[in-house]
Structure 1
Amino acid sequence: MHIQKINEGVHALHDTAGLHVGNFKWINGQWKFKAIGYDPSGHVVPGGGPLTDRHNSTFLHLDASVIHAQFFQD
């Protein structure tokens, strides 16, 4: 799992295989997760993908260990 800063208000989340699975956006004083999936043609599916059940999860801080524990149950 990897969190990549895009800008001050957006960080991309990549799973353990490197697939882009969503973004964290700073909204109203908290980080909100926005899941992203891709259709067979490669088009973005907002709210889709492997973490669709985590769409709109919120965090006060982007703590990689907390996010990993909540999103990637091994």
Structure 2
Amino acid sequence: MPPSLLTPQTEGVCALHDPSGLHVGNFKWVNGQWKFKAVGYGPAGQVMPGHGPLTHLHNTRFDRLDEAIVRAQFFKD
């Protein structure tokens, strides 16, 4: 079984890591839905909201967080 991509952070926030373990964003509970917020990192390691390898999926919404659905939609092979 592959390692989990989702890591709860606080109530209403769940970090998303790619299959290699890189933090690529967060899901936030907003207005009754989980909303994806892409995250990238600059050359000095600074956090860059709305950037990174999943920028094109920024603001994607889910009614529920299901790892299989997230994996299939975000990390298609």
- What TM-score do you get using the length of structure 2 for normalisation? 0.93
- Aligned counterparts of 1:29 and 1:60: Cα–Cα separation in 2: 7
Number of corresponding residues:
74
Superposed, 1:1-74 pairs within 5 Å as 2-74=5-77
Amino acid at match of 1:50: P
In the TM superposition, residue 8 of structure 1 has moved relative to its aligned partner by 1.3
SS of 1:68's equivalent? helix
Identity %: 61
Structure 2 alignment gaps of length 5 or more: none
- What TM-score do you get using the length of structure 1 for normalisation? 0.97
After the TM superposition, list the runs of 4 or more consecutive aligned residues in structure 1 that deviate by more than 4 angstroms.
none
SS of 2:36's equivalent? strand
Amino acid at match of 1:49: G
Amino acid at match of 2:23: H
Structure 1 alignment gaps of length 5 or more: none
- Aligned counterparts of 1:41 and 1:68: Cα–Cα separation in 2: 29
